[in-house]
């Protein structure tokens, strides 16, 4: 059992939880993920690590309530336990000194997993700029935290309620236009956003890394449910990734696979709403 030490609602339906998982925290690196299971009937939910503290043994996760399983997770409170919490999984981000600026792009809750990457790249001696995108200013998350680990943050909102009106790709273009020498972009967020960033940087020749969170069961290479085409090869996001070269990822195939259980997810949400959380 893994205790929830802290819970915070960052924006409507978006929660941050600090989990007491010292063994995982000891080994976690930026870019890795965990798999959790709320209760005996629960799904295995993969979440990218938003922060880790080796001293206090805590792992921070940030998630949005989208289906029945995240609804059940959100219903837990400080002091409650999560049944299973496995990690760290996947390969860590490549961290090192770049020849130019490091840009992290986070869309929606995708901002959270860019945090440890930005911090590590900053500590490695890089100039780090964070682009943070949200639909509107009220759902922007972790702005203060991102400020602390970067040289500059650029906010974009779809409705223009904060920062640049538009998408994260507009902000990337603005950096390029002002002559910023970008060595690498790491983009994390909705698949469509990662695809847009990769499309925008392809012709600019900027190395673009994306972090994928496809459907998966075990997270250790066993099920192959998370397979994604990268270049000409089939890769498993859990053991070969979750980070891949954004210019090689087959985003169309990935978006298709994300839809696989959509109808069943609706049925499940309905079921959980009817019988109440906890399922039995």
Partner 1 sequence: MALSMKKHPMPVQDAKVRAHNFDEVALGYDEETAVAEAERCLHCKVPQCRKGCPVSVNIPEFIAKIKERDYDGAVAKIKESNSLPAVCGRVCPQENQCEKFCILGKKGESVGIGRLERFVADRALEKGEKVEKPEVAADAQSVAVIGSGPSGLACAGDLAKKGYKVTIFEALHKAGGVLSYGIPEFRLPKDRVVQKEIDNIKALGVKIELDSVAGRLYTVDELMNEEGFDAVFIGTGAGLPRFQNIPGESLNGVYSANEFLTRCNLMKAYKFPEYATPIKVGKRAAIIGGGNVAMDAARTALRLGAEHVSIVYRRSAAELPARAEEVEHAKEEGIDFQLLTNPVAIEDNGEGWVKSMRCIRMELGEPDASGRRRPVPIEGSEFDIDVDTVIVAIGTGPNPIIAHTTPGLETTKRGNIAADEETGATSKPGVFAGGDIVTGAATVILAMGAGRKAAAAIDDYLQKKKAQA
Question: Residue numbers of the site for partner 1 (CB under 8 A)?
Answer: 23-24, 27, 37, 41-44, 68-69, 72, 83-89, 217-218, 220-225, 227-229, 234, 236, 239, 250, 253, 256-257, 259-261, 264-265, 267-268, 271-272, 279-280
Tokens representing residue 150 in the block: 């970067």
What is the CA 26 to chain-centroid distance, rounded? 20
Q: Which is nearer to partner 1, 178 or 262 (CB)?
A: 262
Rg of the chain's alpha carbons, rounded to an integer? Answer: 18
Smallest gap from Cβ 136 to partner 1, in A, equals 31
Crossing angle of helices 191-202 and 168-177, in 10° steps, is 20
Q: Which is nearer to partner 1, 97 or 271 (CB)?
A: 271
Place of tokens 């945090």: 115
How far apart are alpha carbons 141 and 213 in whole angstroms? 19
Tokens representing residue 64 in the block: 């949005």
Smallest gap from Cβ 170 to partner 1, in A, equals 30
Smallest gap from Cβ 172 to partner 1, in A, equals 29
Q: Which residues contact 103 (CB under 8 A, 6 or more apart)?
A: 128, 129, 130, 131, 172, 175, 180, 182, 184, 185, 186
Place of tokens 């779809």: 158
Smallest gap from Cβ 53 to partner 1, in A, equals 17
How far apart are alpha carbons 225 and 237 in whole angstroms? 9
Q: Residues, the chain, total? A: 280
Tokens representing residue 58 in the block: 């805590």
Smallest gap from Cβ 3 to partner 1, in A, equals 14
Residue 90 and residue 34 in contact, taking contact as beta carbons nearer than 8 Å: no
Smallest gap from Cβ 74 to partner 1, in A, equals 14
Q: Which is nearer to partner 1, 86 or 104 (CB)?
A: 86
Q: Which is nearer to partner 1, 67 or 107 (CB)?
A: 67
Smallest gap from Cβ 115 to partner 1, in A, equals 21
Q: Which is nearer to partner 1, 108 or 116 (CB)?
A: 116
Residue 104 and residue 50 in contact, taking contact as beta carbons nearer than 8 Å: no
Q: Which is nearer to partner 1, 41 or 159 (CB)?
A: 41
Q: Which is nearer to partner 1, 133 or 219 (CB)?
A: 219
Residue 113 and residue 53 in contact, taking contact as beta carbons nearer than 8 Å: no
């Amino acid at each position: 059992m893994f205790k929830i030490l802290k819970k915070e609602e960052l924006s409507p339906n978006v929660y941050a939880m600090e989990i007491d998982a010292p063994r995982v925290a000891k080994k976690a690196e930026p870019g890795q993920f965990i798999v959790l299971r709320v209760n005996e009937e629960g799904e295995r939910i993969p979440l990218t690590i938003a922060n880790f503290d080796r001293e206090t043994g805590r792992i921070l996760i940030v998630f949005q309530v989208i289906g029945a399983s995240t609804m059940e997770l959100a219903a837990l409170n400080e002091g409650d336990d999560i049944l299973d919490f496995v990690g760290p999984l996947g390969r860590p981000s490549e961290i090192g000194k770049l020849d130019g600026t490091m840009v992290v792009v986070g869309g929606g809750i995708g901002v959270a997993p860019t945090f440890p990457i930005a911090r590590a790249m900053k500590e490695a001696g890089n100039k780090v700029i964070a682009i943070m995108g949200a639909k509107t200013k009220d759902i922007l998350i972790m702005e203060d935290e991102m400020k602390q680990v970067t040289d500059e943050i650029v906010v974009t909102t779809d409705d223009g309620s904060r920062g640049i009106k538009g998408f994260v790709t507009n902000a990337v273009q603005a950096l390029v236009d002002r002559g910023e020498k970008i060595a690498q972009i790491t983009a994390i967020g909705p698949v469509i956003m990662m695809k847009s960033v990769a499309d925008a940087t392809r012709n600019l020749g900027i190395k673009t890394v994306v972090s994928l969170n496809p459907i998966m069961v075990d997270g250790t290479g066993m099920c192959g449910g998370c397979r994604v085409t990268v270049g000409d090869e089939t890769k498993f996001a859990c053991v070969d990734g979750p980070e891949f070269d954004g210019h090689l990822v087959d985003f169309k195939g990935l978006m298709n696979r994300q839809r696989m259980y959509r109808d069943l997810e609706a049925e499940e949400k309905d079921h959980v709403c009817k019988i109440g959380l906890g399922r039995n």
